Every structure is written in C-alpha cells, then in structure tokens.
Amino acid sequence: MRPQLIIGLVTLLGVGGVMSPRTTNGPVGVTVLAAQDNPVALSEESVTAGRPVYLRFCASCHGFSGRGDGVAGSTATAPANLIDDEWSHGGSDAEIYKTIAEGVPPDYEMEEWLGRISEEDIWNVINYLKDLAAQ
Ligand code: HEC
C-alpha cells in the first residue's frame, strides 16, 4: 500500500470516530440521512402512531403542546420549542431526524433516542409534531 493511501485511511477512520457521538448504537449514517427525506408519509395513521411516542418520551421536557414547557426541562439548556419555525439544529425532516436519533452534542441534554425508539417511530413523531404545529 502506498504511504499516502494509508494516511488517507487513518484520517478517514479518525474523523469517523470523532463524528459518532456514542458508540453504543454504532455510528449512524450521517451523510446518508442528510440526503434522505421523510420516508413515512404525513398521514393520520402516522400522526396517530407518533402521538403516544411523543407523550411518553418527549413531552416531559418539550411539553404537551410542544412549546418546550415541560416540567422536566433542564435549567442549563431549555428544551426547544418544537412547533415554531426556528430550528437550532436544522429544520428539514432529515435534520430533525438526526437530532432525535443522535441527540445534541456535547452535553446530550437532548439525548439520542435511536435504539430506544424505532426509526419508523422517529419519523412518526416528526409527523406528529408537524400536525401539532399546524393546529
Ligand atoms: C430531558 C429532556 C428532554 C427530553 C426527554 C427530550 N428532549 Fe429534545 N431537547 C431537549 C433540549 C434541552 C434541547 C435543546 C438542545 C440544544 O439545543 O442544545 C432539545 C432539542 C430538541 C430538538 C432540536 C430542536 C431545534 O431547534 O433544532 C428536537 C427536534 C427535539 N429535541 C426533539 C425531541 C423528541 C422528539 C424527543 C422525544 C423522543 C425529545 N426531544 C426528548 C431536551 C429533551
């Protein structure tokens, strides 16, 4: 193997290691997800499936209304309002998916949920939030 190639490989592996926030779930395909749109259509069925997931895992911090006014919200970082048009970590479906799946580094006050919530249910929650925002 040529030396340049070896250096290139080491660099790639190094960057990959830094970019995956936690090792428990294995690295999530960041670039793949960025190019992906919501594979679950916004339908009544999806919204209905997303509601109990949101109420169980998210409402304690983000509030029943999604405005970030849940009782368990940390004082260090306020839980985000999820039904306004402002997104600190990107507002496309794919970016919101990534935030929910991987959490927000470096503090992870917004934890990573992939592993505890299925991929499909994360998309369902995103659809539920869209429906909530439209009300
Ligand atoms: C322990 C409290 C807590 C729970 C539970 C929680 N979050 Fe969060 N969430 C936060 C905090 C705090 C932030 C802000 C993080 C930051 O910007 O540094 C956040 C940010 C977010 C963002 C980014 C918003 C933006 O403006 O880009 C999304 C999306 C989100 N949460 C969705 C969810 C979903 C969906 C769930 C349930 C699966 C959930 N959160 C559960 C605390 C929580």
For residue 70, the enclosing domain spans 23-133
Q: Is 35 left (phi over 0), alpha (psi -120 to 50) or beta?
A: alpha
* CATH number of domain containing 112: 1.10.760.10
Please report whether residue 113 resides in a domain.
Answer: yes
Task: Name the domain count of the chain.
Answer: 1
Residue 75 pLDDT greater than 80, yes or no: no
Long-range contacts of 6-10 (CB under 8 A, 24+ apart): none
Please report whether residue 13 resides in a domain.
Answer: no
pTM over 0.75: yes
Query: Of all protein residues, whose CA lies closest to atom 3 belonging to ligand 1?
Result: 61
Q: Quickly state the pLDDT bin for 3 (edges 50, 70, 90).
A: low
Ligand 1: residues with CB < 6 A are 57-58, 60-62, 72, 74, 77, 79-80, 82, 87-89, 96, 99-100, 104, 109-110, 113, 117, 125
Please report whether residue 3 resides in a domain.
Answer: no
Task: Report how far residue 105's alpha carbon sits from residue 95's, in angstroms, rounded to the nearest whole number.
Answer: 14
Above pLDDT 90, what percent of the chain?
65
Above pLDDT 70, what percent of the chain?
72
Ranges 2-6, 13-17, 120-124, most confident: 120-124
Please report whether residue 10 resides in a domain.
Answer: no
pLDDT digits (tens, 9 = 90+) for 106-127: 999 999 999 999 999 999 999 9
Ligand 1 centre to CA of 17 (Å) is 24
Please report whether residue 116 resides in a domain.
Answer: yes
**Cβ pair 83, 65 in contact under 8 A:** yes
